[in-house]
Amino acid sequence: MRSEPKAVLLDRDGTIVVDVPYNGDPEQVVAMPGAQEALDGLRAAGVPLGVLTNQSGIARGLLTAAQVDAVNERVETVLGPFDLWELCPHGPGDGCTCRKPAPGMILRACERLGLHPSEVAFIGDIGSDVEAAAAAGATGVLVPTPVTRQEEIDAAPLVAGTLAEAVTLLRGSA
């Protein structure tokens, strides 16, 4: 039986904020319904939180790193502080070890937190998020959105209807 995670890592777009493709405008940051309450509950329990996000718009020349940083700052203004951020600026064909579904960002976050991946959960909205968790040895939870494909839902070991349900699933599994 899994124990309650010592840290929760989260995908950004489609998980904690509404997905705006290649968003470089902080004014377009809108929290996902229920995200604030779910995150506040974890913070109140002393659970470290991190955000891990693929930002291939940088590699594609659609966004600058400064724009992504500004959007991330806005996410913190809207949803509160996070203990760490990891982002992958690479494109799908770059062969990096950080772009989800590769485990690099999760492994770096765990190292920064001083935790083993088995002590961490990663919540995301698409298959590559839960694949990254599995590759790292972390617990993955899928919170589907309208863009999530049925085969991703079918393949996910844990599925929750909302971020709040994902948190309840993780915290109630001890």
Contact 86, 105 (CB under 8 A): yes
Rounded to 5°, the CA angle 69-74-80 comes to: 115
Q: Which of 13, 125, 129, 154 is catalytic?
A: 13
Q: Max CA-CA distance within the chain?
A: 45
d(CA 163, CA 125): 10
d(CA 110, CA 90): 21
Cα 140 to chain center, whole Å? Answer: 10
| The two three-digit tokens of residue 157, written as one number | 């070991």
- Does the annotation mark 11 as catalytic? yes
Phi, psi of 23 (to 5 degrees): -70, 120
Phi, psi of 36 (to 5 degrees): -55, -50
End-to-end CA distance of the chain: 7
Q: Which of 11, 125, 129, 154 is catalytic?
A: 11
Tell me the catalytic residues.
11, 13
